[in-house]
Amino acid sequence: MTSRRLVVSLRARRDLNAARAWWLRNRDKAPAAFDEDVSDALKRIVEQPLTGTPVRSRNGRTLRRYLAERIRYYIYYRVTEREVGVITVWHASRRPPKL
């Protein structure tokens, strides 16, 4: 089995930074949970890229989303032969993003 490279888009990095900042301001009982769960989720989708639920983008491409359950954030990503590309990170309570 070949290992895929993880690529995090600029959009996903901005989403992660904003979500992390919100988490640190509002979740003082578990400040490390966000970083821990995102790290675990990213490892999981690189190791087992088909673990996420398939979703369709607006242009009809199949993407996947993986739920980091404890923090309730979806990680939307695409899988190619060589990489796992994270597209966006989105809280589960929000209306799905435009992909």
One pLDDT digit (tens) per residue for the chain, 99 residues: 567 899 999 999 999 999 999 999 999 888 899 999 999 999 999 999 999 999 988 888 889 999 999 999 999 999 999 999 999 999 988 887 777
Determine the Cα–Cα distance for residues 59 and 42; give it in Å rounded to an integer: 25
Residue 44 and residue 66 in contact, taking contact as beta carbons nearer than 8 Å: yes
CATH topology of domain 5-91: YaeB-like fold (3.30.2310)
Domain parsing of the chain, residue ranges: 5-91
- Global pTM? 0.90
Q: What is the pLDDT of residue 2?
A: 62
Q: What is the pLDDT of residue 97?
A: 75
